[in-house]
Amino acid sequence: MTSLFDIQTCVLGAFRDGSHIVYAIQVCAGPHETRVHRRYSAFAQLKKIALRLLTTGPCCHQRSCHLDSVLRSVFDEIDLDSFRVINTEKLVQHRIAKLHFFLQRMHDALLKCPGRPRRLSEAHGCKVTKLIKSFLDIARPSTWEGEDSHRLA
């Protein structure tokens, strides 16, 4: 299974899907690469659920989350305005930059995570780790066989 600590992400762009804008995210883990598509509201939902798991627990094997000190500030500090707006080109470009910055901050925070919390989070089935993996669609091995994931969160 792919470790969350070994992945890299990049927001490639956005496209219209009916009345919604969907953001394309490239996910790389070693030689494997895939693309997932998520609506902006899915990022806001990820933040909400992750903060709830980090603050209220239990997360890691009936304990508080081992990654709390690493990830809480990443999720706390990102401002994901989720109110309904007209998706102008300027707004979409702003959101692409914001989402890319958020994913990069999360990646950097995980890389700086000391070895012990890393090992414990993976050994104890960290719910936050599972949530992020699910969001990035790296929980399912079939996505690493070259197929694109078109599921929307």
Q: Encode pLDDT of 37-88 as tens digits.
A: 999 999 999 999 999 888 886 777 667 778 888 888 899 888 887 666 788 8
Provide the domain count of the chain: 1
Segments forming the whole domain that contains residue 52: 4-145
Distances (CA, A) of 19 to 16, 84, 86, 98, 136: 7, 12, 10, 21, 23
Q: Is residue 151 very low, low, confident or very high in pLDDT (cuts 50, 70, 90)?
A: very low
Task: Reply yes or no on whether the pLDDT at 14 is more than 90.
Answer: yes
Domain for residue 153, yes or no? no
Q: Quick check: is 151 in a domain?
A: no
Q: Coil, strand, or helix at residue 88?
A: coil
Is 150 part of a structural domain of the chain? no
Asked if residue 152 belongs to a domain, the reply is no
For residue 12, what pLDDT band results from cuts at 50, 70 and 90?
very high
**pLDDT reading at 148 higher than 90:** no
Does residue 104 form part of some domain? yes
C-alpha dihedral (139, 141, 147, 150), degrees to nearest 10: -20
Lowest mean pLDDT among 68-72, 123-127, 148-152: 148-152
3-state secondary structure (DSSP) of residue 113: coil
User: Does residue 106 fall inside a structural domain?
Assistant: yes
- Residue 32 placed within a domain: yes
- Joined tokens for residue 27: 């996910």
For residue 98, the domain's CATH number is 3.30.1520.10
Helix ranges restricted to H, the chain: 40-56, 68-77, 89-112, 115-123, 127-135
Average pLDDT over residues 91-105: 93
Output the pTM of the full model. 0.82
